Chains A and B, each alone.
Chain A
Amino acid sequence: MPESVQLKINGVPVRVPLGSTVAAAVLLAGHSAFRRSVSGEGRGPLCCMGICFECRLTIDGQQHVRSCQLLCREGMEITLGE
């Protein structure tokens, strides 16, 4: 059984421990701005329990997914808001 999974963040391969949330993986990779607000400011996880919606990002082409509520899967493609 693998102890870790590999995913891509903005095209860059990242390996994280099995059971990590996507939010944790993106933070581990050193990103704090997960998306851009309407006025262009960087936004990242605040509550980490699915309430604040600040950690939304695009996963496998699906926009506005709450990254704190999703575990990493092998081969996931994460796109942070430009």
Chain B
Amino acid sequence: MTSRIYDVLIIGAGIIGAACAREFARAGLRIAVVEAGFGGATFAGMGHIVVMDDSEPQFALTRYSQQLWRELAPELPPDVEYMPCGTLWIAADDQEMQEVRRKHEFYAARRVPTEIFDPRALYEAEPHLRPGLLGALLVPEDLVIYAPCAARFLLHQAQAYSCDLYLDKVLQVRDHAVILQNRGGLHAGAVINAAGTWAPELTPGLEMRPRKGQLVITDRYPGFVRHQLVELGYLKSAHTLTAESFAFNVQPRITGQLLIGSSRQFGVQTNAVDNHIIAGMLARACHYLPELSRMSAIRTWTGFRAATADKLPVIGKCPGRQHLYLATGHEGLGITTSLATARLLLDQFLQRAPAIPAEPYLPNRVMETAHA
């Protein structure tokens, strides 16, 4: 068996690995991607391309990446289901309405267009929401895609340049090589670990935790919901680091299906559906959209997000290793930030100046400090 030499070998063909493959292949590098089973977070999450404002680095990365998605839009095939529907952040009480105004000012200062909806505007936009809501913030440039097909498109683009795909499991990462379960050694100038929640198995010392999520998918109800709807209480849920939380988060799809979320669980290892989580999540969704209770759900997805302690992804050269790069830890924002992640990583690889500061995402902050 001949052993091909690649410039860069990427572990993982989820949205992050696929985006890296496209970016590096477009730069003229010879790429290999190794995928163990297409079962990661890309295949279990909503494809919400959303600008976030938890921190300046999170804002910078999500906004940058969203602009890259918008640039890519004309090239996306129909099965990616690109839908520029915007996000409505919904306020149910005065505190959440204050948050609407705060977000509006935050985004205005950073030249992201948003619009404050009063109740009349909100119910005109989304007539099926329950009565009594106070308003919402529309973020019109947020959008929705179908992530598995987006990852496939990115991978196909990489393959059109120069990229081989291996369906195999990586057992070990060495300098200039990885050891595969079936195929043996595969040589490369550099390796990118984009294995999502499995990344620490291959790069010991990387501190991340799997955070389980569950989604319910409905039958087709075209037009029932027109925007991605998220309660502002979502922030209370997503930001806590407690064992379990859920929030109202409903995504319309071009097909008319609705994706109902969202839940967050630490400390759960199995991917089985947790009925008490589903029940809580659906109760929350029906609280906001009462007619949901009469609709049909057709399936449930579960998966694991790769969560870091500071809620920022890990993008850059692995400390203490010459030829190993990390691209993981995106938690719930991997679909959004995939394109920017790939661009920032290529900038580092080629020692080019990045469009946004790369320091906040460098890996040293999430590596065990045994070497320090």
Interface of A toward B, CB cutoff 8 Å:
38, 56, 62-64
Contact = CB atoms under 8 A, between A and B. Distances in A.
Contacts of B220: 38, 64
Contacts of A62: 294
Contacts of B296: 64
Contacts of B255: 38
Given A63-B295, A64-B220, A64-B221, 9 more contacts: A38-B220, A38-B255, A56-B219, A62-B294, A63-B219, A63-B221, A64-B219, A64-B295, A64-B296
A64 B221 CA distance: 9
A64 B294 CA distance: 10
A68 B193 CA distance: 51
A64 B296 CA distance: 7
Contacts of B221: 63-64
Interface residues of B, number: 7
Nearest to B219: A64
Contacts of A38: 220, 255
A38 B256 CA distance: 11
A56 B219 CA distance: 11
Contacts of A56: 219
A48 B140 CA distance: 45
A56 B220 CA distance: 12
A61 B295 CA distance: 11
12 contacts: A38-B220, A38-B255, A56-B219, A62-B294, A63-B219, A63-B221, A63-B295, A64-B219, A64-B220, A64-B221, A64-B295, A64-B296
A38 B235 CA distance: 36
A38 B295 CA distance: 18
Interface in B243-257: 255
Instruction: Find the residue from A38, A56, A63 having the highest chain B CB count within 10 A.
Output: A63
Contacts of B219: 56, 63-64
Nearest to A65: B296
User: Quick one: which of A38, A56, A64 has the most chain B CB within 10 A?
Assistant: A64
A56 B295 CA distance: 12
Contacts of A63: 219, 221, 295
Closest 3 CB pairs of A and B: A64-B219, A64-B296, A62-B294
A62 B295 CA distance: 8
Interface string B217-261: 001110000000000000000000000000000000001000000
Nearest to B296: A64
Contacts of A64: 219-221, 295-296
A63 B296 CA distance: 9
B171 to A, nearest CB: 42
A55 to B, nearest CB: 13
A56 B294 CA distance: 14
A30 B16 CA distance: 53
B230 to A, nearest CB: 25
B291 to A, nearest CB: 9
A62 B291 CA distance: 10
Interface string B185-226: 000000000000000000000000000000000011100000
B283 to A, nearest CB: 20
A79 to B, nearest CB: 14
Interface string B88-131: 00000000000000000000000000000000000000000000
Contacts of B295: 63-64
A48 B219 CA distance: 19
A59 to B, nearest CB: 11
Nearest to B221: A63
Interface in B292-317: 294-296
Quick one: which of B219, B295, B296 has the most chain A CB within 10 A? B296
Nearest to A66: B296
A61 B296 CA distance: 14
A63 B294 CA distance: 9
A45 B295 CA distance: 20
A62 B221 CA distance: 10
B224 to A, nearest CB: 9
A62 B255 CA distance: 18
